[in-house]
Structure 1
Amino acid sequence: MRTLLGMADAGQAEVDFEAVIRSPDVLAQVRHVLPDLEWWASAGKEHGSSEAGDNPADCLPIRVFDWCRPLDRAEPFIAALGPDPAAVRWDLDGWPAVPEAGLEAISQKYAYLTLTVNSRDLYQDEPSQDHTVHVHVRNRNGDQVARVHWLADQVGGRFTGRVELAPL
């Protein structure tokens, strides 16, 4: 992730967090990193939420959301999760042009990286023992696939997933 982030324009970037927290220990660690996080009971807001002033430890499992945080919160958040699933999304300022690969610069609207922790998908519905990197780019003339392959090459990896179109 650090290498990918280093290739992006990230001067004004922010990071967003979503997670499903199941244990009191993980909850305590996450609240240490993000003390004012928003949450609600996985069974629904009527079973407890930060909005209602409930104690999250009494409502486990809970879904947590925290948006627009500084980049330095990402690694402590990931370390706090233990086995619980999460998505950490870096909202980047853009992807630079790569003339030798025929890639134009991409603006902030189309530049994200998401690390799903202990999950394969963006919504924490497909548990996993490892993490998955999702690259979000603009779909223009098929260049999204070229950029994903180029980024994978830069980190010594390979594209193994699938291209999905998502409305923003």
Structure 2
Amino acid sequence: MSNSAAAAVLTTADLSGAIRAVRTLLALAGVGHGEVDVEAVISSPDALARVRDVLPGLEWWAAAGKEHGSSDGGDAPAGCLPVRVFDWGRPLDRAEPFAAAVGPDPAAVRWDLDAWPAVPEAGLPEVSQKYAYLTLTVHSRDLYQDEPAQDHTVHVHVEDLDADGTDRVHWLAAQVGGRFTGRVERASL
């Protein structure tokens, strides 16, 4: 297992604007072999129903702990709200419907990319799939839904914030009209 540095490059109250930025970055990176991972803290029965329609069979457990209910235990999630939901390795077409389905609840969608491309004019080499990820946090400032917010943040992942990593983060931010805010989280991959 390795870690990446997830750098915030765009924060906006407009979810459709955040998704447009994600689409731009996805087009740069390529997602021929991509997949998405999702997680959220769901508080309402309506959001839970919408999320389960988009991702049937997703794993969940009570936010208070698995001993208070989980998919492994065969419990009914609506009786255990709020619940944490997780799903890994989903097809790319599930990302946007999931982000819309969570409503006001905090969530994260992470795209596993083919690579960050080489950018010769900026002196940036290609970055392998191992460190090429993109995360959209919905109603959360952080990757793990610990900082609920009214807005949404696009994070680009790089191996480290050495010279190449910082330059790449600035370059990617510029591609979506954002800027590197200096906010970075370590993400387990």
Shorter-normalised TM-score: what interval?
A: over 0.9
SS of alignment partner, residue 118 of structure 2: coil
* CA distance in structure 2 between the aligned counterparts of 1:140 and 1:33, rounded to whole angstroms: 35
Deviations 1:1-22 (A, max 9, x none): 1101110021100000010000
* CA distance in structure 2 between the aligned counterparts of 1:69 and 1:147, rounded to whole angstroms: 27
* CA distance in structure 2 between the aligned counterparts of 1:166 and 1:65, rounded to whole angstroms: 16
Residue in structure 1 matched with residue 117 of structure 2 by the alignment: 96
Against the structure 1 CA distance between its residues 129 and 15, is the aligned structure 2 distance closer, same or farther, given a 3 Å change threshold?
same
Give the alignment of 1:67-86 within 5 angstroms: 67-86=88-107
- Amino acid aligned to 2:70: S
Against the structure 1 CA distance between its residues 54 and 113, is the aligned structure 2 distance closer, same or farther, given a 3 Å change threshold?
same
1:167 offset after TM fit, Å? 5.5
Choose from 86, 94, 102 the match for 1:65: 86
1:71 offset after TM fit, Å? 0.6
1:158 offset after TM fit, Å? 1.4
Corresponding pairs, count: 168
Residue in structure 2 matched with residue 121 of structure 1 by the alignment: 142
Gaps of 5+ in 1: none
* CA distance in structure 2 between the aligned counterparts of 1:57 and 1:97, rounded to whole angstroms: 47
1:153 offset after TM fit, Å? 1.1
1:64 offset after TM fit, Å? 0.3
* CA distance in structure 1 between the aligned counterparts of 2:184 and 2:154, rounded to whole angstroms: 13
Give the alignment of 1:15-164 within 5 angstroms: 15-139=36-160, 141-164=162-185
| 1:145/1:163 contact within 8 Å kept | no
Give percent identity, aligned residues only: 77
Deviations 1:124-156 (A, max 9, x none): 011110101111012274211100100111112
Question: Deviation above 3 Å: which 4+ runs of structure 1?
Answer: 163-168
- Amino acid aligned to 2:51: V
SS of alignment partner, residue 10 of structure 1: coil
SS of alignment partner, residue 27 of structure 2: helix
* CA distance in structure 2 between the aligned counterparts of 1:63 and 1:45, rounded to whole angstroms: 10
* CA distance in structure 1 between the aligned counterparts of 2:180 and 2:57, rounded to whole angstroms: 36
- Root-mean-square deviation (Å): 1.3
* CA distance in structure 1 between the aligned counterparts of 2:162 and 2:147, rounded to whole angstroms: 31
Gaps of 5+ in 2: 1-21
- Amino acid aligned to 1:53: G
* CA distance in structure 2 between the aligned counterparts of 1:163 and 1:128, rounded to whole angstroms: 17
SS of alignment partner, residue 172 of structure 2: helix
Report the TM-score, using the length of structure 2 for normalisation: 0.85
